[in-house]
Amino acid sequence: MPDIGMIAGAIGALKGASEIVSGLIGVRDQAILQAKVIDLQRAILEAMSSAAAAQSQQMGMMEELRGLREQIEAFEDWKTVETRYVLKDFGSQTFAYQLKEATSENPAHLACPTCFGNRQRSILQFQGDYGGQRHFKCHSCKDEFQLGTYSPPPTSSADSDWSPFA
């Protein structure tokens, strides 16, 4: 008959082995759990990175939209300005934009055709009359304009007889 002490010792040894196996399973499960936590954290970081990139792209698109709205508004504003002027031929194929209706806030003036073509209103500044033409300068683009028909100054008979060799 087996000894009760030996049976008790065997049961104790088996119980200890079972605890060791449970501990090993716990360690193995803990390592797997830790690996899964690391994978989960990596996935969360990737999702956050993607969300930040999407938000950055959305901000860029919103900025572009704001710029396009400003361009549309400027275009509509220019259309309002443009309708208030008419391109006028001052003679001999000399052109400038002239205000259609002068008011106390907006007196009669001419606008530079170069700047007007670039959607800018720049008022021509009168420089004087020469040879029947009115001379103007645009201070924005620096162009100079001679409006009207050129007529050479009259020469006197005394001037025509003059010679540097006489």
**pLDDT tens digits along 19-69:** 766 766 767 777 787 888 888 888 888 888 888 888 999 999 999 999 999
In DSSP terms, 66 is beta-bridged to none
Angle CA 41–47–49, to nearest 5: 105
| CA distances, 75 to each of 68, 78, 120 (Å) | 10, 5, 11
Pick the closest to residue 74 from 85, 64, 84, 82 (CA basis). 82
* Separation of alpha carbons 117 and 87, rounded Å: 11
Q: Report residue 36 as tokens.
A: 């899964």
Task: Quick: pLDDT tens for 84-116.
Answer: 999 999 988 889 999 999 999 989 999 999 999
Say if pTM beats, i.e. exceeds, 0.75: no
Between vectors from CA 103 to CA 101 and to CA 109, what angle results, nearest 5°? 65
Cβ neighbours, 10 Å, residue 147: 19
**Distance between CA atoms of 135 and 59, rounded to whole angstroms?**
51
Token digits for 29? 């499960």
pLDDT at 161: 56
Cα 38 from Cα 25, distance rounded (Å): 20
How many angstroms separate the CA atoms of 99 and 56, rounded?
Answer: 47
**Tell me: the pLDDT tens digits for 118-155?**
999 999 999 998 888 899 999 999 999 999 887 776 66
